[in-house]
Structure 1
C-alpha cells in the first residue's frame, strides 16, 4: 500500500542545507496499522507529510497504492489524496464557517460522491454526534470536534488514513473515546492507518511501531529490523 525507497528531506536555511530526514526505506501493507513515534523535532511529522503527498521529497521514491508520488506535481498529488487518502490533524482543521454536518459533507462533495448529505448524516450518527449536526466548530468541545474530523476523514472510505497526533489536544477521557472510535472505524472499513504520536500507549494499539530519532528510524517493533537506515518487513531480530 505504501513503499518508500531511500527517502530524504532537506531544507535550505540561512546557515546552509539542513538534513531533516536521512534515507528511509520501508513498506506498509494494505490494512496495516502503523505508529510513528518520537520526540518533537525528530522528523516524524515531516515523514507523514511526505507519505501523504503534502510535501515533496528531496530524494528517494514514495509509492502510494502503486502510484509514484515522488514524480507528481502538486495538482497530481492533490488528485491522489482526494481519491485515496483521509487525514486527521491534531488541531482538527475544521472549517469554522461550516456546521459539523457540512464539514463532513465537504470531502464527499469534492469527490463527486452521490448523496453527500445522506452519507454525512449516516457517519455523523456512527460517531454519536447526530444531535450536533447543525452546530459550528466553536460550539463543540475538543473531543466532539475531533470526532467530526474522524467522520470527515472516513466519509470517502479512503484506502489510506494518515493521523497526525490525533489525540494531542485532548484530555485523557476524550483521548480514550477518540482512540476507540478511530480504531473501531478503521477496522470496520479495513483502512490502512499510519499515525504519528508521542503517546506510547496510543502507539501500542497499532500493529507496528516505528521510532524516529533525529530523522532516522533507529528502533522498530519486533516484526521488523533496521538495515542500514531502512526496514524490512517480516524479519526476526
Structure 2
C-alpha cells in the first residue's frame, strides 16, 4: 500500500541547507496499522506529511497504492489525496462556520460523492455524535471535535488514513475513545492506518512501530497485535 525508497527532505535556511530526513526506506501493507514514534524534532510529522502528499520529497521515491507520488505536482497530489487518503490533524482543523455534519460532508462534496448528507449522517452516528450533528465546533468538547475530524477523514472510506497525534489534545478518557474508534474503523473498513504519536500505549496497539531519531529511521518493532493476528490466522487456516 505504501512503499518508500531512500526518501529525504532538505530545506534551505539562512545558515544553508538543513537535512530534516536522512534516506528512509520501508513498506506498509494494505490494512496494516503503523505508529511513527520518536522525540520532538525527530522528523515524525515531516515523514507523515511526505507520505500523505502534503509536502514534496527532496529525493527518493514514494509509491502510494501503486501511484508514484514523488513524480506528482501539487494538483496531482491533491487529486490522489481526495481519492485515496484521509488525514486527521492534532488541532482538529474544523471549519468554525460549519456545523458538525457540514464539516463531515465537505470532503465528500468536494469529491463529488453521491448522498454526501446521508453518508455524513451515518458516520456521525458511528462515532456517537448523531445527536450533535447540527452543533458548531465551538459548541463541542475537544473529544467531540476530534470525533468529527475522524468522521470527516473516513467519509470517503479512504484506503489510507494518516493521523498526526490524534489523541495529543485530549484527556485520558477521550483518548481511549478515540483510540478504540480509530482501530474499529481500521478493522471494519480495512483502511491502512499510519499515525504519529508520543503515546507509547497507543503505539503498542498498532501492528508495528517505526522509531525515528534525528531524521533517521532507527528501528522497526513488530507489536503483539501483529503477532496475535498472525497466530489467529494460522489457527484459522489449520482448522
When normalised by structure 2's length, the TM-score is 0.92
Residues 1:154 and 2:172 aligned together? no
SS of the counterpart of 2:3? strand
Name the structure 1 match of 2:85: 85
Residues 1:175 and 2:183 aligned together? no
CA shift digits 1:154-191 (9 cap, x unpaired): 00000000000000000111101111111111110000
SS of the counterpart of 2:123? helix
CA shift digits 1:87-130 (9 cap, x unpaired): 00100000111000000001111111111001100111101111
Q: Note the residue ranges of structure 1 that are not aligned, 5 or more in a row.
A: 224-237
Per the TM alignment, residue 210 of structure 1 is displaced from its structure 2 partner at its CA by 0.6
Name the structure 1 match of 2:112: 112
Per the TM alignment, residue 220 of structure 1 is displaced from its structure 2 partner at its CA by 1.6
Could you say what the CA RMSD is over the residues aligned between the two structures, in angstroms?
A: 0.8
SS of the counterpart of 1:219? strand
- Distance (Å, rounded) in 2 between the aligned partners of 1:114 and 1:172: 37
Tell me, yes or no, if the aligned pair for 2:34 and 2:206 is still in contact at 8 Å.
Answer: yes
Name the structure 2 match of 1:58: 58
- Distance (Å, rounded) in 2 between the aligned partners of 1:106 and 1:148: 12
Q: Note the residue ranges of structure 2 that are not aligned, 5 or more in a row.
A: 224-239
Name the structure 2 match of 1:233: none
CA shift digits 1:30-56 (9 cap, x unpaired): 010000001110000000000000000
- Distance (Å, rounded) in 2 between the aligned partners of 1:25 and 1:219: 12
- Distance (Å, rounded) in 2 between the aligned partners of 1:74 and 1:130: 35
Q: Say how many residue pairs are matched.
A: 223
- Distance (Å, rounded) in 1 between the aligned partners of 2:93 and 2:222: 35
Name the structure 2 match of 1:210: 210
- Distance (Å, rounded) in 2 between the aligned partners of 1:21 and 1:156: 31
Name the structure 1 match of 2:49: 49
Per the TM alignment, residue 84 of structure 1 is displaced from its structure 2 partner at its CA by 0.2
Name the structure 2 match of 1:163: 163
Per the TM alignment, residue 148 of structure 1 is displaced from its structure 2 partner at its CA by 0.4
Name the structure 2 match of 1:234: none
- Distance (Å, rounded) in 2 between the aligned partners of 1:27 and 1:146: 28
Tell me, yes or no, if the aligned pair for 2:207 and 2:222 is still in contact at 8 Å.
Answer: no
- Distance (Å, rounded) in 2 between the aligned partners of 1:89 and 1:59: 25
- Distance (Å, rounded) in 2 between the aligned partners of 1:95 and 1:53: 22
Residues 1:67 and 2:60 aligned together? no
Name the structure 2 match of 1:24: 24
Per the TM alignment, residue 222 of structure 1 is displaced from its structure 2 partner at its CA by 4.2
Per the TM alignment, residue 17 of structure 1 is displaced from its structure 2 partner at its CA by 0.4
Give the 3 Å change call, closer, same or farther, for CA 161–222 of structure 1 in structure 2: closer
Per the TM alignment, residue 219 of structure 1 is displaced from its structure 2 partner at its CA by 1.7
Name the structure 2 match of 1:190: 190
SS of the counterpart of 1:221? strand
Deviates more, 1:176-185 or 1:42-51: 176-185
Name the structure 2 match of 1:135: 135
When normalised by structure 1's length, the TM-score is 0.93
